[in-house]
A and B are shown apart, each in its own frame.
Chain A
Amino acid sequence: MTRPRTLYEKIWDAHVVEQRPDATCLIFIDRHLVHEVTSPQAFAGLRATGRTVRRPDLTLAVPDHNVPTTARLDAAGGRLPIADAESAAQLAALEKNAPEFGIRYIDAVAPEQGIVHVVGPEQGFSLPGTTIVCGDSHTACHGGIGALAFGIGTSEVEHVLATQTLLLQPSKTMEVRVEGEVGPGVSAKDIILHITGVIGAAGGTGHVIEYTGSAIRALSVEGRLTVSNMAIEGGARAGLIAPDETTFAYIKGRPYAPKGADWDAAVAYWKSLATDPGATYDKTVVIDAADIAPSVTWGTSPEDVVPITGIVPDPASFADPSKQAAAAKSLAYMGLEPGTRMQDVPVENIFIGSCTNSRIEDLRAAAAVIKGRHKADNVKWAIVVPGSGLVKAQAEAEGLDRIFTDAGLEWREPGCSACLAMNPDKVPAGERCASTSNRNFVGRQGPGARTHLVSPAMAAAAAVTGKLTDVRELMA
């Protein structure tokens, strides 16, 4: 009998093209997602060396980071120009590079356009058991459907374009098991924020994390994508959730998904990927779902998590002196005093979007809280940015856009938006934002911007009250 293997080991083993004398392996890449920011230098490299794209059929390009989320077409259907010259240059480069190298391309004004990590699963381009790479660290997102997916740098983008492989060392494995049932008002985002708080921002370094347990299995695919999205915030290279009936139901019928007899063969294969009984992980962390509250970050590292009922910690309360120093710096940047109740922190900006939380379920959760209410007067800027054109259309069909706009929130075009300060959507210096994105780093949402990471329902609650709020208090 063969040795029991984990999900990660099975996917890894199935993709080894060659093993080097040391542990390094040449790994085949099944799907390569490309966006405008990390690809221009890679295409330039190919051109300079006269190389071509080995597998254009396995490559899908879509612009997302730089595209403005305001209207892209004028009343006559003509394209509106992009004000920022550098953004326009990156977008133009992708638009030119994709056809030149023969790769699949979703245009900025196509109905399917969206954030690359929303588009991949939505199109059925991302499949369980595949290896997926993209020049963006939140590629880990696709682990939510059971794909081994991770972010790569531009040199690696060029390497994958040229060879459809990557040289990699196997990662260690880590299991994060969340058992039990979460309470009301607790979403997938709260689960992953809580996990990140428990394991720390470097807790998963060198590992691929498999999320297991009944609380994870109970999540929808959207929720699983949210959890796996932030694997990187715990330092892990990738996150994984074993594909199951929930996953198969989500994928079936999507444009690039297998069809007919192929579908049955695919499902049979995907079922064989689950971690074998008796397989061991290098590390296991067990979390009781009942311990997870709606959560919020107070600092500038995603590990700086407290329950919404908590207080801003005193830096002196940390055992590690370097964490004490980091916490003190974070608090100075965030303009917070130790001991302040999180629920007393006012917010002027609300961002509902990003590849972490911009799928239909996220928008439904936010709309459910905000329905029939209005944003508080001190909230100056509140935007809802669907993850893709298809999510946008679905939300509009359900009337969610009206719920948001009636409440005084702006309804935008799909893109990365205020997740990172690259496009016009930025949070002003010194102001706070309750944000459903994945990073609260210094300057992430704009120079001097103060980010509090929350779930979509919590962001909606903050919009209504004008301060960080326990969403459970607004739930009937």
Chain B
Amino acid sequence: MTPLDKVEGRAIPFGLKNVDTDVIIPAHWLKTTTREGMGRGAFESLRADPDNLFDSADFKGAPILIAGDNFGCGSSREHAAWALGDLGIRVVIAPSYSDIFSGNAVKNGILPVVLPQSAIDRLMEVAATDPVFVDLEHQTVTTQFQDRFSFEIDPFRKMCLLEGLDEISLTEKSDAAIGAYEKALDADRPWMRPAA
């Protein structure tokens, strides 16, 4: 996974609330057996409009997306994160996310920044014409107009993103603990194993 620290550039002032995963990547794009090339399907229904934000001269390839409340709600499909990543997005800024989406985003090297609506409103304004700066190490979003918004992030997620860590390798370090749990479970609640 590509490590992520500072991301700066144009931010797509999208701003919609309750953007669900069917909007981010329609279901027919789920019929793949690989992860690549999904960006072509990202926001497909919106991009059917030739004047859409995502393909405009200003925002094509922009690394940051600004959205409204409850971004990524709906299905658990990780394809949504793959599609955003393939579109070139490294950071999403929104007041809230669906739990599954924010987990999927981090696992795919995308930073979900949570900021209050007032900050989103201001960033939407700036993003229309100017770049936005995101600094994960210092947990800030800034603009060239002296705006400075701090955000919270779970320290583990932060470390994974900063170092580009793969979660499975990390968990494999706990192999002994998992083995001990399994042994204790078999002793305490042997019926937990499927009977057949």
Contact = CB atoms under 8 A, between A and B. Distances in A.
Interface of A: 17-18, 20-22, 24, 26, 28, 30-31, 37-38, 40-41, 44, 49, 51, 54-55, 57-58, 66, 84, 86-87, 89-90, 93, 124-125, 127, 130, 135-137, 139, 151-156, 158-159, 162-165, 167, 169, 171, 201-202, 205-206, 235, 237, 255-259, 262-263, 265-266, 269, 301, 322, 326, 420-422, 439, 441-444, 447
A341 B137 CA distance: 55
A55 to B, nearest CB: 8
B185 A158 contact: no
Interface residues of B, number: 55
Contact of B190 (A20, A51, A262): A262
B73 interface: yes
A257 B195 contact: yes
A28 B99 contact: no
Contact of B81 (A20, A55, A125, A153): A153
B194 to A, nearest CB: 4
A202 B74 contact: no
Contacts of A28: 178, 181-182, 185
Nearest to A27: B181
Given A17-B181, A86-B32, A165-B171, A155 B70 contact: no
Interface in B36-53: 45
A58 to B, nearest CB: 7
Interface stretch (B5-13, B18-26, B124-132): B18-26
B145 interface: no
A41 B76 contact: no
B18 A205 contact: no
B30 A37 contact: yes
Contacts of B193: 57-58
B34 A38 contact: no
Interface string B156-196: 10000000000110011010011001100100011111111
B189 A265 contact: yes
Q: Which of the listed residues B70, B79, B99, B181 has the most CB atoms from chain A within 10 Å of its own CB?
A: B99
B77 A155 contact: no
Interface of B: 17-18, 20, 22-23, 26-28, 30-35, 45, 68-70, 73-79, 81, 96, 98-100, 103-104, 107-108, 154-156, 167-168, 171-172, 174, 177-178, 181-182, 185, 189-196
Contact of A263 (B70, B103, B191): B191
B178 to A, nearest CB: 6
Contacts of A171: 99
A422 B28 contact: yes
Q: Which of the listed residues B30, B33, B154, B185 has the most CB atoms from chain A within 10 Å of its own CB?
A: B33
A295 to B, nearest CB: 20
B30 to A, nearest CB: 5
Contacts, number: 182
Nearest to B167: A159
A441 B74 contact: yes
18 contacts: A41-B33, A58-B193, A135-B78, A151-B100, A153-B78, A153-B81, A153-B100, A162-B172, A169-B154, A205-B96, A206-B99, A237-B99, A256-B194, A258-B195, A322-B17, A326-B18, A439-B74, A443-B26
Interface of A is mostly: loop
Given A17-B174, A159-B171, A262-B191, A41 B35 contact: yes
A252 B185 CA distance: 21
B191 A265 contact: yes
A165 B194 contact: no
Q: Which of the listed residues A136, A139, A154, A262 has the most CB atoms from chain B within 10 Å of its own CB?
A: A154
Contacts of B156: 20, 22, 24, 167
Nearest to A154: B78
A169 B191 CA distance: 27
A257 B194 CA distance: 7
B99 A51 contact: no
A83 to B, nearest CB: 13
Contacts of A447: 26, 45
A167 B182 CA distance: 16
A326 B19 CA distance: 10
Contact of A235 (B17, B70, B79, B185): B70
A167 B167 contact: yes
Contacts of B100: 137, 151-153, 237
Contacts of B99: 171, 205-206, 237
Contacts of B96: 202, 205
